Amino acid sequence: MKLRDVVGGADLAVYPEIALMIFLGAFLLIAWRVMSRKSSDYDEVANLPLEGEDGPLPPSDRDPSDKETSEEEARA
């Protein structure tokens, strides 16, 4: 008996189908959770990159590649 015969008769097609069902279920659950939340729930999270530990960052600390900030520092 060859390995090809063993693997061919093992009916392994069930495992990819189970994995697909798990993935589809997780995807639908995540999509439902994202779509069911109000946009006001995301406002606080949306501003997190703009805030430091002590509150909002000053404009000079927000983007170091900002040309206006670089020009002001060069003049000083």
HEC profile of the chain: CCHHHHHHCCCCCHHHHHHHHHHHHHHHHHHHHHHHCCHHHHHHHHCHHHEECCEECCHHHHCCCCHHHHHHHHHC
Residue 74 confidence class, pLDDT cut points 50, 70, 90: low
What confidence tens digit (pLDDT) does each residue in 14-70 have?
899 999 999 999 999 999 999 998 888 888 788 777 776 666 666 655 555 655 555
